[in-house]
Amino acid sequence: MPLPTRIVDSHQHVRWHRRDEHALVADLDAHGIDYAWLLTWCLGLAEQSPEHAAYLNPALTQIDGSHPGIPLSELLIVREKFPRRFVVGFCPNPAWPSAPALLESAYHMHGVRVCGEWKFRMPFDDPRSLAIFTMAGKLKIPVVLHLDVPWLPHAKTGERTFQPAWYGGTVERLEHALQACPETVFVGHAPGFWREISGDADLCPENYPHGAVTPGGRLYRFFDHYPNLVADLSAGSGRTAMARDPEHAARFITRYADRLLFGRDYYERELHDFLQTLPLSAETIEKVYWKNAERLVPRPA
């Protein structure tokens, strides 16, 4: 496969996983990445979890033990140091009062050009979520969504089992948002999204399914029916969805070459290494690695 002439990391965070902005920039340089979309994660009461201590910035821990996540203020400090290496994203917590107005203010005041990461324990089609999505459509900025389903079938019994670390709700909730906000571009991401590449998603007990992709995956219908849906290939979810069936991945990426974004979500090169093994055209590679991202969001000046 030919190498891309440019690389945009469309899904990245900073000051987490025990690395600061200098380590992130060094990592971008080591992997030949021109710049990245930096995304917030604005935790609310519903999203607090002890596991966050392992990878979020301990300096931001509040006196009551709660944590704000990855707030906009952190991203603005980082961009000031490296203005040409980052596009700043911001998604206010939809439980906050006047969250859409906060997004609009961030767009004008701080040059926010991505609404993301949307990662909250609230359904995508909740009116408070839709209000943020509608504002993003008005501002013409994409929304990066994290979907983790609230229910999975039990591996032995097949019974629906509650997943406490859910975000966004079901894939049906995502479809409702796509329908309700046709002027908004949504970037699908995370295990609950990518499991739907295969027709057997409802029967699979794994968060990260493996094995051959079967026909009938909902993502095909979504991509074919909703022009406002794109997706990033980041993290274990996107990469695993591709690597579980390389022959299918080559067909899928080629078919939706205008709708997919290269991204990582953390510090690794597994996705890049895997994509290099696929028989993809130079045109497809250029679109996935940077052209689609720059069509949605201009590169830093």
Note the pLDDT of residue 8: 98
Sheet strands (E) in 178-284? 186-188, 229-232, 260-261
Q: What mean pLDDT do residues 252-256 have? A: 98
Q: What mean pLDDT do residues 31-59 have? A: 96
DSSP state, residue 288: I
Q: For 101-148, what is each residue's pLDDT tens digit?
A: 999 999 999 999 999 999 999 999 999 999 999 999 999 999 999 999
Q: What percent of the chain has pLDDT over 70?
A: 100
Q: Are strands 35-38 and 86-88 parallel, antiparallel or unpaired?
A: parallel
Provide φ and ψ at 111, rounded to 5°: 70, 25
Note the pLDDT of residue 10: 98
Note the pLDDT of residue 268: 87
Note the pLDDT of residue 301: 84
* CA–CA distance, 188 with 201 (Å, rounded to integer): 16
- Residue 1 reports pLDDT greater than 80: no
Note the pLDDT of residue 246: 97
Does the predicted TM-score (pTM) go above 0.95?
yes
- Residue 2 reports pLDDT greater than 90: no
Confidence of residue 178 (pLDDT cuts 50, 70, 90): very high
Confidence of residue 46 (pLDDT cuts 50, 70, 90): very high
Note the pLDDT of residue 292: 98
Q: For 200-210, what is each residue's pLDDT tens digit?
A: 999 999 999 99
Determine the Cα angle at 190 with ends 131 and 104, to 5°. 25
* CA–CA distance, 11 with 198 (Å, rounded to integer): 23
DSSP state, residue 147: -
Task: Compare 253 and 301 and report the one with higher pLDDT.
Answer: 253
Q: What mean pLDDT do residues 72-85 have? A: 98
DSSP state, residue 231: E
Strand partners, 153: 160
Helix (H/G/I), strand (E/B), else coil: 208: coil
The domain made up of 8-296 has a fold known as TIM Barrel (3.20.20)
Q: Tell me the domain boundaries of the chain.
A: 8-296
Give the largest Cα separation in the chain, rounded. 55
Note the pLDDT of residue 59: 96
The first and second tokens of residue 222, run together, are: 């979504």
